[in-house]
Amino acid sequence: MRSPGRLRRPSYPWSKGRPCTNLELGPPRGGRSAGRAAEIVVLGEASTGSASDLAEATVLCRNMHARWGLGRRIAVREASELPRDLLLVVEQHLQQASDLAVSIIVERRASLDRLAETLLARRSLEGREATAIIGSPPSD
């Protein structure tokens, strides 16, 4: 059991064998929001199917701002102890990611539809086959 007031040692995301930078984690790119964005564009609204992706994105964003010193503040604190203004920053960050994901899906809707039609016909695809259908990811 940990003593009151003592922060747990944070776990950090790693990329290519080293800690990630703010540039690698943000600004929001929308990747974890892509499924939800596709639901919004195709179905007209989000469903509960995107809950785990949204939870993961929220944890990442909260950690960026509260634990890893990658936001406006560098004081480390437990994510559960975020002040209201920092919670609003996290919400804005997540909304920007969602908006970006929706705009990418709208822009690439024809490719998404081709991918869906191919998956319905063939039931599964290799990654290279999916990339051939939709093309390379858009650059940031």
- Long-range contacts formed by 4-7: CB under 8 A, 24+ apart: 7/76, 7/77, 7/78
CA–CA separation, 24 and 6 (whole Å): 29
Q: Provide the whole-model pTM.
A: 0.71
pLDDT tens track of the chain, all 140 residues? 444 454 444 455 655 666 777 666 665 556 678 889 999 999 999 999 888 888 888 888 888 888 887 777 777 777 667 788 888 888 998 898 899 889 989 998 998 899 999 999 999 888 888 888 888 665 54
H helix count then E strand count, the chain: 6, 2
Closest CA to 139 of 111, 106, 100: 100
